[in-house]
Structure 1
């Protein structure tokens, strides 16, 4: 952890990121329980690509109507396979989704008024503009083998599939470089993790622990 309180006036906005299987979602839930308004960019992306979602027309125009499943939502498995296989497709996907996700995330942050906001952004380290939107960045980190074990256990993916996802994300060192604080979530009990997150939140919000 860092030992710097937050003294900047105005809305308090923080960034939260971590690799797949790091425990970022658990930390987000702990922060929400402490009073943060968590703006989950993955959840926004799912809403934009759900049946009737605002991003679907542009995605169908960019990739063809076959990327829309029978249920009317984005076929996420097909889109994921295409993006992994073709860097150009990945860039086109991001060009459609990222501006829409960013605009909706900022709208929700504005609606939070005086409440502290946590932007939960899996690709925060890869997207430089998020750094300017946040007064502090919290990175949830763990060993790569721990990531693999957690994701295979919860999702049923193969180890190779998980490692391919990890390889597409920013390296751990890159995420740690942008951090104002790092929670190393490896071998910790939920109670220990909660204690660490609570102490950091109190510090960043100048509140008693």
Structure 2
């Protein structure tokens, strides 16, 4: 039986290498048009991953609270960000992406525990701002509050990585994430004012 890794024990380089292999599998044998789209989305995901880490580093207490495994959550957010748009060429790409990650062929590449894969799938499926927040409670490793904050980090980073109309994207994210923000009392207004309407340091 092949030993599986724990997400918290992998380096950023290892996670990046795994994501690259997954993206290469997706791009392989696609038409030029689809392959070009996926390459652009891979670059976008890399940008989102970096912005997610910066948000986490600066605003972890606001977004996640205090009680969580820092290395595990950091790697969960980073890896999920790297592959959140891996099915962007499909309708309902957030759902298709979650299904893709849970597929047997992908599991052999990822080589993570079932709980880790399930948590990655939850974040990928929930990264769209309008997604039903019931997914937040469907994990065994992370509290609902920390999962909610992790999802919100990727949603915000995804909008900050847009090339145009960033303010409008963030406002939409805040509106569509209202249920998530209110239920878990995540106070993001000061964060948004600084990063988006202020100097936008990210």
TM range (shorter): 0.3 to 0.5
Structure that is richer in helix per residue: 2
TM-score normalized with structure 1 length: 0.33
**Higher Rg:** 1
Structure that is richer in strand per residue: 1
Q: Which has the higher contact order (CA 8 A, sep 6+)?
A: 1
TM-score normalized with structure 2 length: 0.34
